[in-house]
Amino acid sequence: MNSQKTLSPREAANRLGISLNAVYSLLWAGKISAEQRENRWHIPKADVDRRLVGKRPARPSVDATEKQVG
């Protein structure tokens, strides 16, 4: 299990499936919290994980799947 509590902007971008520039845009807009220490950004992993919850695609309903097949 990964016990890391913060991510770099690059790690956050990879985890979210977005560009590094998009991560910086989220930081500057205040949509992801972060702390800058020693000239490096530290983004709480929990904040990134919360954003992932909202990104999950919805599953098609059983009715919609049946209509596509038959």
What pTM did the predictor assign? 0.69
CATH number of the structural domain spanning residue 24: 1.10.1660.10
Asked if 6 and 43 count as a contact pair (C-beta separation under 8 A), the reply is yes
The phi, psi pair for 45, rounded to 5°, reads -60, -35
Provide the pLDDT for residue 1.
35
pLDDT digits (tens, 9 = 90+) for 13-51: 999 999 999 999 999 999 999 999 999 999 999 999 998
Confidence of residue 4 (pLDDT cuts 50, 70, 90): confident
Q: Is 32 domain-assigned?
A: yes
Number of domains forming the structure of the chain: 1
Q: Enumerate residues 6+ apart whose C-beta is below 8 A from 43.
A: 6, 7, 8, 9, 11, 12, 23, 27, 32, 33, 34
Structural domain of 36: 6-57
Q: Is 64 domain-assigned?
A: no
Q: Is 68 domain-assigned?
A: no
Q: Enumerate residues 6+ apart whose C-beta is below 8 A from 64.
A: none
Q: Is 31 domain-assigned?
A: yes
Q: Is 18 domain-assigned?
A: yes
